[in-house]
Amino acid sequence: MNLKFGLVAAASLLAVAAFAAIESGLKPGVQPAPFQVVDVTGPNKGKELCYRCQYGGSPVLAAFVKNDPAKAGQLLVDLQKVVNARSGKGLKSFAVFMSGPEATATIKKIATEKGITIPLVFLPQGTSASDIASYKISPEAQNTVILWRASRVRSNFVDVDAAKVADVAKAADAMLQ
């Protein structure tokens, strides 16, 4: 009887762990480190740079997305709306495709088809580069959205979908106060 109870308990724990939220990205209070990207669509198109460095202490919404056009496109449209509605308050933004140069065609296609104007970038050395590794972006996550200001993370959201965009917008408003 005890063995049976033990097996049921172990199976229950595994089920709970399988449905546990994915942890991805920097936690509130942490200072985001510099990391290199290649800009595909933004004002620095074709250049390797550090947007985290360029934006300095400004309020920033940074999205880290998988190279999946179907899922990334709608997220970027939704985040573009969040950024546009707050641009007068100085909110900066960029979206990092968690891949290397092979994402260039996908990035260009999404930007063109969806009318995205926030900089869309990729990682010059892919996800294995040590500078991006410090961000702890989970490969399990479809996306991770991090908001920071004055070089401190304020909020972190994982697997943002249409329902969670309102939470990102509220966090951006709180950060901009």
The answer to whether the CB of 82 falls within 8 A of the CB of 62 is: no
What is the per-residue pLDDT for 4? 53
Q: What is the pTM of this model?
A: 0.88
State in Å, rounded, how far the first CA of the chain is from the last one.
Answer: 59
Exposed/middle/buried for residue 124 (C-beta within 10 Å: 0-12, 13-18, 19+) = middle
13 against 35, higher pLDDT: 35
| C-alpha 20, offset from chain centre | 19
What CATH class does 23-176 carry? Answer: alpha beta
Q: pLDDT band at residue 68, thresholds of 50, 70 and 90?
A: confident
